[in-house]
Amino acid sequence: WVICISLIFWAGFYLGRYGGVFGPEVHLESEGEAVKTVSVSKPEEGQPVAAVDGAEVYNRVCATCHQQNGQGVPGAFPPLAGSGILTGSDELPIKIVLHGLQGPVTVAGTTYNGVMPAWGGQMSDEEVAAALTHARSSWGNSAPAVSVENVKKIRDETSGRTANWTIEELEGK
């Protein structure tokens, strides 16, 4: 009993000392600090639209599988660093992001056989272009930027597609 009670007291002390604040006061304004509010509104006609941060979109959407360093997960998710599919014509990666990819694909000499979900329904043309541009210019890749206009064009051309692509379809084999 003594050991159990001592352990409980130690845990309480430890959480109290290093656990942060467990209470609503963490959300209240501190003395001398101003609460920053941000209003988001759609830009009016003719106003420039704020640029989308490709690194942020990539980290939010793509990094879960392909990792922040673009190396993928061995045996599960292919790397984007040094990927010919990503750094070749921008048409292939745009189609893959919009409608997904399934089946075997070989990247850097390793064959991966899985399913990449379609992100076209969750990502805007600007987000797709920004994320792909980030990936095509990171981790040693040096491919040109992807334009929003090209993403929009390919989205319109493939709008009737309901199934994931296979690499054979994309490469015309």
pLDDT tens digits for range 70-106: 888 887 888 888 888 888 888 888 888 888 888 888 8
Largest CA distance in the chain: 73
Please provide the average confidence, as pLDDT, over all residues in the chain: 77
CB-neighbour burial class of residue 54 (10 A; exposed 0-12, middle 13-18, buried 19+) = buried
pLDDT at residue 115 tops 60:
yes
pLDDT at residue 154 tops 90:
no
Q: Where are the beta strands (DSSP E) in the chain?
A: 101-107, 110-116
What letter would DSSP give residue 145?
P
The pLDDT of residue 39 is 40
CB under 8 Å to 106, separation ≥6 — which residues?
A: 112
The pLDDT of residue 6 is 92
Query: By C-alpha distance, which of 78, 129, 67, 86 is closest to 108?
Result: 78
User: pTM for the complete prediction?
Assistant: 0.67
The pLDDT of residue 20 is 55
The pLDDT of residue 3 is 93
The per-type count for the chain, helices as H runs and strands as E runs, is 8, 2
